[in-house]
Amino acid sequence: MVVLTVAGQRHALNAAGVVEVLPWLPVASLVLAPPAVVGVIDYRGTVVPVVDLCRLLVGRDCRRWLASRMAVVRVGPPARHRLVALLAEGCTLTRLDTASAQPGLHRPDAPFLGPLLNDGDGLLQSIDPEQLLGAEIIDAVLSAAADLPPDPLSAQAHGR
């Protein structure tokens, strides 16, 4: 699991969906982007939108600390995968026993919240990045990239 720290809270992402974890890179701003999309980065020659998880979850910008990171994830259907960088105030890789996951609170307004996991330092809320980003951000990412060739990393991952 990739553990992201957002506004003092720790959240777990399935590492299988994370392409790479990057340091905080320079971000070019975008005009009229959804509020949580703070701009774009050049990721290995591909323009990738950056979503500030603090802005998305708690309404303030992520603080820039030495531990701040960007987790690059794939979103969208397999044939149209696109990359998105999730900006967090901290990021670590850890092995968690997902078999001991406990259900969290069911919240219809937060379908991205998954089971609770224990890493020995406390409980972590697992999150689904695609559900977290929501339709507005996913649609913006997919429609902006509609005329681009498929993500080359996606093709490599699927053996093409």
Q: What is the pLDDT of residue 20?
A: 95
What is the chain's pLDDT, residue by residue, as a tens digit (160 residues)?
A: 899 999 999 999 988 889 999 999 999 988 888 889 999 999 999 899 999 999 999 999 999 888 899 999 998 777 778 899 999 999 988 887 777 777 777 777 777 888 888 888 888 888 888 888 887 777 776 665 544 455 555 445 444 4
Q: Which fold has domain 2-98+114-157?
A: OB fold (Dihydrolipoamide Acetyltransferase, E2P) (2.40.50)
Q: What angle do CA 62, 64, 68 make, to 5 degrees?
A: 85
Burial class (CB in 10 A: 0-12, 13-18, 19+), 147: exposed
Q: What is the pLDDT of residue 154?
A: 47
Residue with tokens 């951000």: 137
The residue extents of the domains of the chain are 2-98+114-157
